[in-house]
Amino acid sequence: MSSLELSNVTKKFGTQETLKGIDLSLESGEFLVLLGASGCGKSTLLNLISGLLDPSSGSITLEGRVLNGTHPKDRDIAMVFQSYALYPNLTVGRNIGFGLEMRNVPKAEREKAVLDAAKVLQIDHLLDRKPSDLSGGQRQRVAIGRALVRKPKLFLFDEPLSNLDAKLRMEMRGELKRLHQMLGVTIVYVTHDQIEAMTLATRVAVMRDGHIEQLGTPEEIYNRPATTFVADFMGSPPINMFKGQHLPETRLIELELADTPIALDEAVLSACAQDIPAKVIMGIRPEAFGLEPIQGGISIDCVVEIVELTGPEKIVSLDVRGQRVIATFKPEQNFKPGDRVTLHASKDKISIFDAETGKCWA
């Protein structure tokens, strides 16, 4: 049985439909990330699961129990907010154990649970301090500890790292990953940060305009995007998109920016039930390009415009007949503006989309 099940869940605010028929099944121990831009509906979906909002239609079940109409406190769900929501006048220990205190859990049992959670989060030396004495990362650990001590069936995280600086965000990502691997808890996590999604999730639900555009593992989302939206949304630097067309009565794709048509693999053709679209878009990740020719691959002549060294890689922006193409290389590879280079990519690194629908064809 699935731990969490959403069936045809919708949410309307007046005439505005924010969520449009969400179907989602989450197994026990999964770390699901709801990923999308602001306004896509991801936080609304989280609030429906928590009980802070009621769905307009559809059902939400947790371990076989229907949650529709159930008060948030009776759902056995713990939520960690972006703002920490700590009590400033209470110590760290009392903040972590506050929920247990309100449930009249005996003091000795409560103190043991607080200490156990604090040790897991490596903040047991901070139990007597006040929130004002803590760093942002320490405050977030306290908020997580308050959720952890309850031992709920489901954890919900609403952009918990967005208030932290870049270094702290990276550290807390590692802590959350370690916590999930150690405890095997079930988590639904909302973010607009694709790095968080890729590094934390066992599965990612990419959301757009109130629906799930694609659901899959981080590897599937990145390497086999279902639509041009997902392909473009995931990845930094972003994917390169090339317009092209299918040459009639052939198995060739002609790209606007390449001189030689690309022959489609027989394996690709046999795996696709639909005919080759008349107009296509080819997506190629920046890291898929190389400088060595590839038999049967794609080749594009370019002029180097900008070279950016990030440390572990060089991001090279190139001009191809007025269109910008981005490629990444090892830092020792030398480029300078004005250099003429030919980029090569293997066909198995290319995604082909129907230009009319935006859906992946191969």
Three-state DSSP class for residue 193: coil
Predicted confidence band of residue 43 (pLDDT cuts 50, 70, 90): very high
Summarize pLDDT for 233-264 with one digit per residue, the tens: 999 999 999 999 988 888 888 888 777 778 87
DSSP string, 34-78: EE--TTSSHHHHHHHHHTSS--SEEEEEETTEE-TT--GGGS-EE
Query: Is the CB of residue 10 less than 8 Å from the CB of residue 22?
Result: yes
Q: What is the pTM of this model?
A: 0.89
Summarize pLDDT for 168-195 with one digit per residue, the tens: 888 889 888 988 998 899 999 999 999 9
Predicted confidence band of residue 1 (pLDDT cuts 50, 70, 90): very low
Distance (Å, rounded) from C-alpha 78 to C-alpha 102?
A: 15
Q: Identify the structural domains of the chain with CATH numbers, from first to last.
A: 4-232 (3.40.50.300), 237-354 (2.40.50.140)
Contacts of 184 by beta carbon, 8 Å cutoff, 6+ apart: 29
| pLDDT cut 70: percent of the chain above it | 97
Mean pLDDT of the chain: 91
Predicted confidence band of residue 267 (pLDDT cuts 50, 70, 90): low
Distance (Å, rounded) from C-alpha 168 to C-alpha 163?
A: 10
**Segment 62-66 mean pLDDT:** 93
Predicted confidence band of residue 361 (pLDDT cuts 50, 70, 90): confident
Residue 200: is its pLDDT beyond 70? yes
User: Poorest-confidence range of 147-151, 185-189, 223-227, 231-235?
Assistant: 147-151
pLDDT at 318: 97
The answer to whether the Cα torsion of 343, 346, 351, 352 is positive or negative is positive
Neighbours of 161 (CB within 10 A): 24
User: Poorest-confidence range of 152-156, 158-162, 256-260, 268-272?
Assistant: 268-272
Q: How far apart are the first and last CA of the chain?
A: 33
**What's the DSSP call for residue 219?**
H
Neighbours of 344 (CB within 10 A): 17
Greatest pairwise CA separation for the chain in angstroms: 79
pLDDT at 140: 87
